[in-house]
């Protein structure tokens, strides 16, 4: 089951350059006689497993084959084993043991991958290594069971006797929710959840991660890095079957990584876990060594608490039977630099902090990870005041294109207290999302830099009314009037407004609106079909440029005009005569859409402006006017 992602309007499959190169490499294939074939296994066979329960020291445990399940999902089998030793009789099979290799008579059977939640014995589902190898090298995506569909039940030739009772069938779930104990005579196995250690993340950010990762079988938990003495002592510890195998999503000042176990190493090729990370197929994650601090026992499924140590390669395959990667390679990660300055009322000195991280470029994860690390940078400041104002500047550098720059001020009820960090950085995450999921060409984001200054106090003003100096104007005159704004907990303010009218403006009745800049930009996008629904990458960037140009501190005077052109075959044809616009819009076969326009005047204010007000006036050539000063 993959991570829940945002509903996507635009989609484009993107395969990283490294992934393409990795597919062309041929690993040294393990010798066929070094691992078991499923059909050669029999109940009663006994073997030895390898895993780490503390530090990096590999310890043995025992395993006995109870049964072989054929076709638990298309093309996949599962071996049911009873484990013992290492206090597994008390803890049960442990999340973090995923990938722990089991050997029978010196030959590799496979990787511990499934468990029996709430079980009275440590019963594990073992993924045969022969299928791990075949699936990884074929880069096959796992076969997903439709959500809501019951896990398949596999009948047994002979009942399994587990926990003092006989089971005639086994249900193997592809989802990660722990089933409730029941008495229907079915042994229920679920994939071992993957402990994901979050280092440097606040409780609020950790809660967001748990919500986003739950359906992926990941268990984000608060953790920490290893101490300097341990890191130095373990820096040369080799990666070997049974060692902790960490896969990172975020590295740097914040760290987010999953901990499992190495199943097999063949030359520079590493196999692990025995079940997917997120079922992504081709991927590019840092492959890291790990350190286990302790085992946390639970009634359902216990888990290991661990930390990553150092990057030793790249995970480039995430398939139904496990993960695999290459030693000696460097992952291609996205660098993000975040500076946060927090002012206080008590003194003039501002507290400044800078964080630097690198995140994986996996398309389905990128938006969520960008939002999470940016949010966490502000969450690190502790509890924020209910009334605050934030100045944000973000620069998104893009290969082959000008950078996208967002510079704006945020304040108001949506940006107060605990709501502020997520609401603030949604703006940046939305830009990343639009670029990543455009439908036209792959876009490579080179780096993201973000600077945020948080000030105490709310600086907002609501638009209450608009008055014009006259209700009739002649073409070529300047429309003048007054906008009335009410600052938060302040007195009503008067702001003069002015909008020059073109000399060829047709006579008639018009409505002028005073609004905030966001409202104005939303209307501009609706007025131009090629920007509201871009037809090529250039139009995507044009739409982004329009959206990021809006300033919340701007007061906008907007006068909508009749249709001024058409959008045809992805091209904009503005400034057409009204007769041509009518012809195009009335001819269905052309597929033309009308483009509207507006006269716009902006003026900066000391506040974040909110709301809009409108008033009607008339344009008449026969109006007698005084000479304008």
Most confident of 176-190, 204-218, 399-413, 417-431: 399-413
Which of 263-277, 307-321, 340-354, 478-492 has the least mean pLDDT?
340-354
Query: What does the pLDDT average to over 29-37?
Result: 86
Task: Give the pLDDT score at 188.
Answer: 72
Closest residue by Cα to residue 292 from 540, 45, 95: 95
- In the Cβ-directed half-sphere of 141, how many Cα atoms lie within 13 Å? 11
In whole angstroms, what is the distance from residue 457 CA to residue 569 CA?
Answer: 49
**Which CA distances in Å does 291 have to 122, 186, 198, 231, 286?**
23, 36, 14, 9, 16
Indicate the pTM of the whole model: 0.81
Write the DSSP symbol of residue 39: G
More confident residue, 486 or 219: 486
- Give the phi and the psi of residue 568 in degrees, each rounded to 5: -135, 125
494 burial level (CB within 10 Å; 0-12, 13-18, 19+): exposed
Residue listed under structure tokens 């896990």:
151
Average pLDDT over residues 283-307: 86
DSSP H or E segment with residue 130: helix 129-138
Kindly tell me if the per-residue pLDDT of 347 is higher than 70.
no
Residue 346 reports pLDDT greater than 60 = no
Domains by residue range for the chain, with CATH: 17-191 (2.40.10.10), 194-327 (2.40.10), 335-456 (no CATH), 460-619 (no CATH)
Average pLDDT over the chain reads 82
HEC string for 375-411: HHHHHCCCCCCCCEEEEEEEEEEECCEEEEEEEEEEE
Cα dihedral sign for 168, 169, 170, 175?
A: negative
Written as one string, the DSSP assignment of 581-596 is HHHHHH-GGGT-EEEE
Nearest CA to 328 out of 310, 313, 315 is that of 313
Q: What is the pLDDT of residues 350-368, one digit of tens each?
A: 678 999 999 999 998 899 8
Return all residues near 538 (Cβ < 8 A) that are at least 6 apart: none
Q: What is the DSSP string of 341-375?
A: EE--SS-S--EEEEEEEEEE--HHHHHHHHHHHHH
Model confidence band, residue 21 (pLDDT cutoffs 50, 70, 90): very low
Instruction: Report CA torsion sign: 427, 13, 139, 170.
Output: positive
C-alpha radius of gyration, the chain, whole number: 31
pLDDT of residue 206 exceeding 90: no
14 pLDDT exceeds 70? no
- SS3 for 259-299 is EEEEEEEECCEEEECCCCCCCCEEEEEEEEEEEEEEEECCC
Position 617 scores a pLDDT of 96
The string of DSSP letters for 241-253 reads TTSEEEEEEEEES
CB–CB of 177/301 below 8 Å?
A: no
CB atoms inside a 10 Å sphere around CB 294: 11
Q: How far is CA 328 from CA 262, 310, 313, 331, 610, in A?
A: 16, 12, 5, 10, 55
């Amino acid at each position: 089951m993959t991570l829940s992602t945002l509903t996507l309007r635009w989609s484009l499959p993107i395969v990283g350059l490294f992934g393409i190169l990795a597919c062309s490499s041929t690993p040294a294939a393990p010798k066929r006689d070094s691992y078991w074939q499923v059909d050669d296994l029999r109940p009663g066979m006994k073997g030895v497993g390898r895993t780490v329960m503390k530090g990096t020291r590999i310890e043995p445990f025992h395993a006995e084959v109870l049964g072989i399940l054929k076709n638990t999902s298309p093309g996949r089998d599962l071996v049911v084993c009873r484990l013992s030793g290492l206090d597994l009789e008390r803890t049960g099979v442990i999340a973090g043991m995923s990938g722990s290799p089991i050997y029978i008579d010196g030959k590799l059977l496979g990787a511990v991958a499934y468990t029996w939640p709430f079980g009275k014995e440590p019963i594990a589902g073992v993924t045969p290594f022969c299928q791990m190898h075949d699936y990884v090298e074929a880069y096959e995506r796992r076969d997903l069971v439709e959500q809501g569909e019951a896990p398949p039940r596999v009948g047994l030739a002979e009942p399994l006797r587990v926990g003092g009772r006989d089971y005639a069938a086994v249900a193997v779930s592809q989802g990660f929710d722990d089933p409730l104990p029941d008495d229907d005579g079915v042994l229920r196995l679920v994939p071992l959840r993957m402990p994901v250690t979050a280092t440097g993340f606040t409780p609020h950010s950790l809660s967001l991660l748990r919500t986003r990762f739950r359906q992926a079988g990941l268990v984000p938990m608060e953790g920490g890095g290893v101490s300097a003495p341990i890191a130095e002592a373990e820096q040369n510890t080799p990666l070997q079957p049974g060692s902790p195998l960490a896969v990172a999503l975020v590295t740097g000042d914040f760290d987010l990584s999953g901990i499992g176990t190495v199943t097999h190493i063949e030359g520079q090729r590493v196999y692990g876990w025995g079940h997917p990370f997120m079922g992504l197929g081709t991927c590019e994650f840092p492959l890291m060594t790990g350190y286990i601090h302790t085992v946390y026992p639970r009634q359902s499924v216990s888990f290991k608490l661990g930390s990553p140590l150092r990057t030793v390669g790249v995970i480039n395959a995430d398939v139904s039977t496990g993960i695999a990667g290459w030693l000696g390679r460097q992952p291609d990660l996205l660098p993000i630099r975040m500076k946060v300055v927090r002012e206080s009322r008590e003194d003039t000195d501002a507290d400044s902090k800078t964080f630097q991280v690198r995140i994986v470029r996996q398309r389905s994860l990128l938006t969520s990870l960008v939002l999470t690390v940016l949010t966490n940078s502000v969450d690190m400041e502790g509890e924020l005041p209910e009334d605050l104002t934030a100045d944000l500047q973000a620069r998104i550098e893009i290969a082959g294109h000008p950078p996208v720059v967002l510079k704006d001020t945020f304040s108001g009820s949506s940006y107060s207290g605990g709501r502020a960090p997520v609401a603030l950085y949604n703006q940046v995450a939305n830009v990343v999302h639009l670029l990543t999921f455009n439908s036209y060409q792959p876009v490579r984001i080179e780096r993201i830099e973000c600077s945020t200054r948080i000030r105490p106090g709310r600086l907002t003003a609501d638009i209450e009314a608009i008055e014009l100096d006259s209700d009739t104007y002649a073409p070529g005159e300047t429309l003048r009037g007054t906008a009335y704004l009410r600052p938060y907990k302040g007195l009503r303010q008067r702001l003069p407004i002015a909008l020059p009218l073109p000399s060829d403006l047709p006579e008639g009745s018009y409505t002028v609106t005073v609004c905030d800049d966001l409202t104005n930009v939303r209307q501009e996008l609706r007025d131009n079909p090629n920007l509201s629904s871009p037809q090529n990458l250039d139009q995507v960037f044009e739409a982004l440029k329009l959206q990021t140009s809006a300033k919340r501190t701007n007061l906008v005077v907007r006068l909508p005009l009749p249709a001024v052109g058409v959008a045809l075959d992805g091209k904009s044809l503005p400034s057409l005569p009204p007769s041509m616009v009518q012809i195009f819009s009335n001819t269905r076969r052309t597929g033309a859409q009308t483009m509207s326009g507006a006269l716009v005047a902006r003026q900066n204010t000391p506040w974040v402006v909110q709301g809009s007000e409108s008033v009607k006036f008339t344009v008449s050539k026969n109006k007698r006017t005084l000479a304008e000063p």
